[in-house]
Structure 1
Amino acid sequence: MRYRRNYVAGGTYFFTVNLLNRNSALLVEHIDVLRESVRWVKHRQPFDINAWVVLPDHLHAVLTLPDDDHDYSNRWREIKKRFVKSLPKTEPLTGAHKRKGERVIWQRRFWEHTIRDERDYWHHVNYVHFNPMKHSLVNRIIDRPYSSFHKAVERGIYQPSWCGEGLNLKL
């Protein structure tokens, strides 16, 4: 299957990146490894993080690339690769994965959406920050530790009580 990606130099994009095992919690269990992987790639291939949240089995991000650059695919490939190489090899591998030397941590692809305008931007930034409540991980957005929401509160973009308290959420 051929995927059509929209590459816009200097573009702002929304991403969803998933672990292959959707019952895994590797991303939060190894949050420092993920952070270092992002830092390493960001240093070599700069980008701005507009919004970011890490859940146990997936993450969402809104990123902006430099004006002369459109290569988000390589950035995600490198982030995923560095994360995997830093983990102990504990996952079961099929014969095909062993022959190819592949680890089976991430889904091969990721979801990408090119941000069209300011309304679309805020829709996706809010979605990123609301996602932990959507998945019943917290009753208040501010309680999710792995989120850019905290920096947005510091910058006055959101109030700490944004979205209030969740109703009937399991914790």
Structure 2
Amino acid sequence: MEYRRANVVGGTYFFTVVTEKRQKILWLPNNVSLLRDAFGYVMQKHPFIIDAVVILPENDQDFSNRWRLIKSYFSRKCETISPENISISRKKKKQRAI
């Protein structure tokens, strides 16, 4: 299998990272501070923007509910560029075409 790396100047990238054997090292306050320091240190020498970092609470894997709620909130409030052509079934469910 050939590995491909996207090289887009000014691109936006998504990373998913897990610890070795899913150790809960990011629950230790000192390690959270250390991770922040690591980001800051590298950003000084090699600037980049972090849009978001998410670490779920211990014993909580319900990311799908969080994502559903975020999408729902956004879609109800966002502005559109062109008129929406929404089907009758979407209107009944209060969904938008975005």
Question: TM-score, normalized by length of structure 2?
Answer: 0.52
> What is aligned with 2:39?
38
Report percent identity of matched pairs: 43
RMSD of Structure 2 on Structure 1 (CA): 3.1
CA distance in 2, matches of 1:2, 1:55: 33
Provide the TM-score with structure 1 as the length reference. Answer: 0.32
Report the equivalent of 2:19. 19
Separation of aligned partners in 1, 2:47 and 2:27: 24
1:10–1:50: structure 2 CA closer, same or farther, 3 Å change rule? same
The structure whose residues are more often helix, as a share, is 2
Which runs of structure 1 show a deviation greater than 6 angstroms over 4 or more consecutive aligned residues? none
Q: What is the match of residue 8 of structure 1?
A: 8
Aligned residues, how many?
A: 64
Matches within 5 A, 1:1-171: 2-22=2-22, 24-29=23-28, 30-55=31-56, 135-136=61-62
Q: Which sections of structure 2, spanning at least 5 residues, go unmatched?
A: 68-73, 75-98
Between the aligned partners of 1:44 and 1:28, the Cα distance in structure 2 is 27
- Residues 109-167 of structure 1 deviation map (CA, whole Å, 9 limit, x = unaligned): xxxxxxxxxxxxxxxxxxxxxxxx6x148x979xxxxxxxxxxxxxxx8xxxxxxxxxx
Return the offset for 1:54. Answer: 2.5
Larger Rg computed on CA atoms: 2
Aligned counterpart, 1:126: none
What SS does structure 2 have at the residue aligned with 1:14? coil
Mapped partners of 1:14, 1:51: distance in 2: 10
Distance 1:10 1:136 in 2: 32
- Counterpart Cα distance in 2 of 1:19 and 1:35: 16
